[in-house]
Amino acid sequence: MIGFVLSSVAGLVSQILVSRAFGTSPSLDAYYAGNRLPEMLFALIGGGALASAYLPTLSGFLAQEDHQGAWRLASAIINWVLLLLGLLSALAWVAAPWLVRHVLAPGFTDPGQIQLTVSLLRVMLLSPAIFGVSGLFMATLNAHQHFALPALAPASYRLGQIFGVLVLVPQLGVHGLAWGAVLGAVLHLGVQVPALVRLRPRLCPWLGLEMAEVRQVGRLMAPRLLGVAIVQLNFLVNTIIASGQPEGSLTALNFAFQLMIMPQAVIAQAIAIAALPTFSDQAARGDLEALRETLGTTLRGVLYLALPASLGLIALRRPVVALLFERGLFDARSTELVAWALLWYAAGLAAHSLLEIIVRAFYANYDTRTPVMVGAGAMTLNILLSWGLSWGFGRIGWPPHGGLALANTLATTLEVALLLWLMDRRLGSLRLGRLRRGLVAIFIAATGMWAVLAAWLRLTQGAGPMLRGAGGVALGLVVYWGLSYLAGAVEARELPSILLPRRAREA
């Protein structure tokens, strides 16, 4: 979690620097449109779909202490990722002009912006293969119960982006952002190498088609790949729709989504990564009682952190966006564009956070099909809602890009609700009833925090964003922890023992 905090801080610094340099300009819209395809390639071939199939299979070798088999599996999967991502990136480089005009940004009408998007896309196509290998290194280290350096990898990627903004952008313009992203991919990989070396890896140049476990990874990955493809299709549809909306809409959506993802990454992704090996071990031993207990407690802990973060972002969206970004070319109009999208994205923060946990419980049970099918339905709904809500927002005079954010929130909320119900049936109850007192305490404290923040905003009307934004965040944290402690939330009482060193606790 500390690693994800560092990554979020570095990502925030990167966003602040980018917003100062480019605002919500057409050139930044071109950058985000061009970056969509490299992100899709990595997500489809080297991202979560592969890791969710690879890590449990690798853990099976490690549980049997078959280290030679584990490294043979790792070698085969790494070589396949390099081969496929390298080939697809090369094909995309050749087809870049057609892809930009007809797939990535058909709403762009300025020839200069189209050509800029093509050029940026070709630079960023260097990164998918690097990220693919780095993602496998991360999964391999997690399977060996090594989390520190993999957790620093996202922060290292952000450092590459920051270098691009500060050093390369003054010389290369927006192309400096693209080269900074490539450098970040290299750092994402490089920071994990020392930990991998300590494992004494025995990698070899083979594809392992005759190895049953390699084929098993492919079978487990296939349904998950369908789900990831639909998610990426949804992102692509959002990019296509936003490219035809008022200038800056695409950039505003990206800024708002990243602001929502920052607390989600710290709260949920960090916990989920650490929990998956434990879930997998309990499922492998058939200890459903332990799995029920661990999963239920983890879900409640995530909700304890995610719900106030969601309400806080909604309440403080304007002063927070102004405090972070309103400087340089990022003006008051840019603040309104981002804050509007953040309102609708932040409403789904708790659902996004719970989703990270519940899908990994399915993966631990070697079930990638169920979350994929549910996710496919949710993302199909998301695409339909994206078209409908953006059109509806425009019809009533609201900025249409807010409809895209709301569609994401609604679809994700329905997805996580259905997955929780299915897992409850599979495990013979998650026994959330035993956790009811804690859940009630969480909702009481979050509601009280919301009321205090509403009063704070009225009291500080006309004050600067530093007082309203930073002061509101600090006030919200203190009020929520205090109210949840008084209401008897277990997490509130355990928080000091987690954050303070042992000597300080004993004193």
Give the pLDDT score at 495.
Answer: 63
What backbone phi and psi angles, to 5 degrees, belong to 110?
-80, 120
Overall average pLDDT of the 432-454 stretch = 82
How far apart CA 506 and CA 501 sit, in angstroms, is 9
| Residue recorded with tokens 């002009």 | 97
Percent of the chain with pLDDT over 70: 93
Percent of the chain with pLDDT over 90: 36
Tokens of 453: 């923040």
Overall average pLDDT of the 196-205 stretch = 84
Higher model confidence: residue 233 or residue 504?
A: 233
In a domain, 487, yes or no: no
Residues 6 or more apart whose CB falls under 8 angstroms from that of 130 comprise: 182, 185, 186, 188, 189
Query: Taking 80 as the threshold, does the pLDDT of residue 396 lie above it?
Result: yes
In a domain, 33, yes or no: yes
Mean pLDDT of the chain: 85
Can you give the pTM of this predicted structure? 0.72
Strand blocks (E) in 310-393 = none
- Number of structural domains (the chain) is 1
Sign (positive or negative) of CA dihedral 303, 492, 435, 451: negative
Query: Taking 50 as the threshold, does the pLDDT of residue 442 lie above it?
Result: yes
Give the pLDDT score at 458.
Answer: 92
How far apart CA 261 and CA 345 sit, in angstroms, is 9
Give the pLDDT score at 503.
Answer: 45
How far apart CA 177 and CA 163 sit, in angstroms, is 9
Give the pLDDT score at 345.
Answer: 95
* Of residues 168, 125, 156, the one with CA closest to residue 21: 168
Give the pLDDT score at 501.
Answer: 47
In a domain, 436, yes or no: no
In a domain, 345, yes or no: no
Counting other chains too, the contacts that 63-69 makes at CB distance below 8 Å and 24 or more residues apart are 63/281, 63/284, 67/202, 68/202, 69/213
| Residue recorded with tokens 């693919």 | 132
Give the pLDDT score at 502.
Answer: 45
| Residue recorded with tokens 């409908």 | 388
Give the pLDDT score at 164.
Answer: 94
How far apart CA 77 and CA 133 sit, in angstroms, is 9
Instruction: Give start and end residues of each alpha helix (H) in 191-331.
Output: 193-198, 212-243, 249-264, 270-284, 288-315, 317-325
In a domain, 166, yes or no: yes
Separate counts of helices (H) and strands (E) for the chain? 25, 0
In a domain, 339, yes or no: no
In a domain, 424, yes or no: no
**503: number of Cβ within 10 Å:** 7
Categorize the per-residue pLDDT at 1 as very low, low, confident or very high, splitting at 50, 70 and 90. Answer: low
How far apart CA 359 and CA 363 sit, in angstroms, is 6
In a domain, 431, yes or no: no
Least confident residue range of 42-46, 106-110, 424-428? 42-46
CB 347 within 8 A of CB 409: yes
Sign (positive or negative) of CA dihedral 62, 66, 71, 76: negative
Most confident of 41-55, 193-207, 406-420: 406-420
Higher model confidence: residue 91 or residue 327?
A: 91
How far apart CA 184 and CA 193 sit, in angstroms, is 15
In the Cβ-directed half-sphere of 474, how many Cα atoms lie within 13 Å? 6
Residues 6 or more apart whose CB falls under 8 angstroms from that of 438 comprise: 300, 304, 488, 489, 490, 491
Give me the domain span that covers residue 8: 1-220
Give the pLDDT score at 506.
Answer: 46
Categorize the per-residue pLDDT at 155 as very low, low, confident or very high, splitting at 50, 70 and 90. Answer: confident
What backbone phi and psi angles, to 5 degrees, belong to 191?
-70, -20
pLDDT tens across 445-462, in order? 999 999 999 999 999 988
Residues 6 or more apart whose CB falls under 8 angstroms from that of 239 comprise: 32, 33, 36, 104, 105, 250
Q: How far is CA 135 from CA 42, 46, 138, in A?
A: 9, 7, 5
pLDDT tens across 480-507, in order? 999 988 887 777 777 665 544 444 444 4
Least confident residue range of 174-188, 235-249, 343-357, 445-459? 235-249
